[in-house]
Structure 1
Amino acid sequence: MTSRVLAGTVRRTGDDDADLARAAHLAHSSKDLEEHEYAVRSVARALEPYCSSMNVPESPFVLDLPNVLHLATDVTGVLHEQASSLAIAAALHPTAAVCGTPTDAAAALIAEIEGMERGRYAGPVGWFGADGDGEWGIALRSAELAGPGDDGDPGAAHRVRLFAGCGIVAASDPEAELHESDAKLEPMRYALA
Structure 2
Amino acid sequence: MPKTTGQMKTTLRFYTETIEVSRLSAHAFFEAGDESYKGKRFFWQNKEKTFTLVGLGHAHIFSNELEDTRYSDIATKWKEICQTSLKEKVDVSPILFGGFSFDPKNKIASEWDTFPSSFFVVSTFQLVIKNEQAYVSINYITNEEESSEAFERLRMERDALIHTAQVKELKVHAKPSLIGREDRLKDEYLQAVEEVTSQIRNNVVNKVVIGRSLKLTFDDTFASSTAIYNASMEQPESYLFGLEKDDKIFFGSTPERLVKVENGHVQSAGLAGSVRRGKNSMEDKELGDSLLSDRKNLGEHQFVVDMIRKVFNQYCEDVKIPSRPKLMKIRDIQHLFTPIEGKIKKEASLFEFVESLHPTPALGGEPRREAVAIIRESEQMNRGYYAAPIGWINAEGDGEFAVGIRSALLENQHAYLFAGGGIVAESSSLEEFEETRVKFRPMLRTLGGNMNE
- TM-score, normalisation: structure 2: 0.39
| Partner residue, 2:374 | 109
Secondary structure of 1:14 counterpart: coil
Q: Distance in 2 between matches of 1:97 and 1:53?
A: 24
Higher helix share: 1
| Partner residue, 1:126 | 391
- Code of the residue aligned with 1:100 in structure 2: it is G
Q: Deviations over 1:9-64 (max 9, x none)?
A: 00113311100000000000000000000111111122221102212222100111
Q: Distance in 1 between matches of 2:389 and 2:353?
A: 11
Deviation at 1:146, TM superposition (A): 3.2
| Partner residue, 2:277 | 12
Q: How does 1:84-163 map to 2 (within 5 A)?
A: 84-147=349-412, 158-163=413-418
Q: Distance in 2 between matches of 1:188 and 1:85?
A: 29
Q: Deviations over 1:92-136 (max 9, x none)?
A: 111111110111111111111101221101110111111111111
2:431 to 173, 176, 179: 176
- TM-score, normalisation: structure 1: 0.90
Higher alpha-carbon deviation: 105-114 or 175-184:
175-184
Q: Distance in 2 between matches of 1:55 and 1:173?
A: 35
Secondary structure of 1:4 counterpart: strand
The question of 1:54 aligning with 2:54 is answered: no
CA contact (8 A) 1:86 1:132 kept: no
Segments of structure 1 that go 5 or more residues without pairing to the other structure are 148-157
Higher strand share: 2
Q: Distance in 1 between matches of 2:345 and 2:430?
A: 44
- Code of the residue aligned with 2:438 in structure 1: it is A
CA contact (8 A) 1:67 1:183 kept: yes
| Partner residue, 2:291 | 26
Q: Distance in 1 between matches of 2:320 and 2:406?
A: 28
Q: Distance in 1 between matches of 2:276 and 2:429?
A: 15
Q: Distance in 2 between matches of 1:36 and 1:98?
A: 11
Q: How many equivalent residue pairs? A: 183
CA contact (8 A) 2:316 2:346 kept: no
The question of 1:186 aligning with 2:441 is answered: yes
Q: Distance in 2 between matches of 1:122 and 1:12?
A: 22
| Partner residue, 2:310 | 45
| Partner residue, 1:167 | 422
Deviation at 1:167, TM superposition (A): 0.8
The question of 1:66 aligning with 2:331 is answered: yes
Q: Distance in 1 between matches of 2:346 and 2:314?
A: 12
CA contact (8 A) 2:278 2:285 kept: no
- Identity value in percent: 37
- Say what the alpha-carbon RMSD is for the aligned residues: 1.3
- Code of the residue aligned with 1:184 in structure 2: it is K
After TM superposition, where is structure 1 displaced by more than 4 Å over at least 4 residues in a row?
Answer: none
- Code of the residue aligned with 1:185 in structure 2: it is F
Q: Work out which of the two has the higher radius of gyration on C-alpha atoms and give 1 or 2.
A: 2
